[in-house]
């Protein structure tokens, strides 16, 4: 399977996926890192890992759809068959989701459907819940709502700070994302 990973920021999930591929824990190839943000540390990680980068600022375009049309062309030229969103901070339009229907996945730092949205860890922490989690799901037109591929609960410990909870959630993410993609791979092989 040929993956394109989309990142806007730090890229620790991208790194976890790249490491899993390198260690042969994930029988896939990351053919492209797509980013909308030149300051994204994920871009540096990709360069270091020798993974080609597609870095195009949406600001160069009149509309989001125009940026997406170009990205779809790039993905097709590279034979990408799974789009992996990993901290990609833009909402994709129905055009893009239609172009890769059923082939876009995302990781979200909560046990969905609880705590959708951009501040899921903080929202869960502030709500005082006893457990939250991580979800890998298919992407549909409705935000954080597609079918779940894998989920894992994470307990909120007494004495946890937002930072300590974030750290544990990210550690779970780094294992769950490769596992979820392995699950998709094994389904496809059947």
Give the Cα-Cα-Cα angle 16, 11, 133 (nearest 5 degrees). Answer: 70
Q: Which is nearer to ligand GRF, 87 or 178 (CB)?
A: 87
Nearest C-alpha neighbor of 34 from the set 55, 19, 13, 18: 55
Nearest C-alpha neighbor of 154 from the set 137, 138, 176, 178: 176
Tell me how far, at minimum, the Cβ of 188 lies from ligand GRF, in Å. Answer: 24
Q: Which is nearer to ligand GRF, 100 or 115 (CB)?
A: 115
Interaction residues for ligand GRF, span 70-109 (CB under 6 A): 86-87, 107-109
Count how many residues are written for the chain: 190
| Known active-site residue 170 | no
Are the beta carbons of 123 and 115 closer than 8 angstroms?
Answer: yes
Binding mask 128-157 toward ligand GRF (x if CB under 6 A, else -) reads ------------------------------
Binding mask 170-189 toward ligand GRF (x if CB under 6 A, else -) reads ---x----------------
Q: Give dist(CA 56, CA 20) in Å, integer.
A: 26
Q: Look at residue 137 and give its three-state secondary structure.
A: strand
Q: Does residue 7 bind ligand GRF (CB under 6 A)?
A: yes
Q: Which is nearer to ligand GRF, 68 or 173 (CB)?
A: 173
Q: Which is nearer to ligand GRF, 75 or 121 (CB)?
A: 121
C-alpha distances out from residue 43 to 17, 21, 32, 190, Å: 14, 17, 10, 34
| Site residues, ligand GRF (CB under 6 A) | 7, 9-13, 86-87, 107-109, 173
């Amino acid at each position: 399977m040929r993956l394109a990973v989309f990142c806007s920021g730090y890229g620790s999930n991208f790194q976890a996926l790249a490491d899993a591929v390198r260690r042969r824990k994930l029988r896939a190839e990351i053919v492209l890192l797509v980013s909308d943000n030149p300051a994204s540390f994920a871009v540096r990680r990709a360069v270091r890992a020798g993974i080609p980068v597609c870095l195009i600022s949406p600001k160069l375009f009149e509309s989001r759809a125009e940026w997406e049309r170009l990205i779809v062309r790039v993905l097709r030229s590279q034979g990408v068959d799974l789009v992996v969103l990993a901290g990609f901070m833009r909402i994709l339009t129905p055009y893009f989701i239609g172009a890769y229907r059923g082939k876009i996945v995302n990781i979200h730092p909560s046990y969905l459907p609880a705590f959708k949205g951009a501040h899921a860890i903080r929202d869960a922490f502030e709500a005082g819940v006893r457990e939250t989690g991580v979800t890998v799901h298919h992407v549909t037109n409705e935000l954080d709502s597609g079918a779940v591929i894998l989920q894992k609960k994470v307990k909120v410990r007494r004495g946890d700070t937002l930072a300590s909870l974030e750290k544990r959630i990210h550690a779970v993410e780094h294992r769950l994302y490769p596992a979820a993609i392995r699950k998709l791979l094994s389904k496809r092989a059947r």
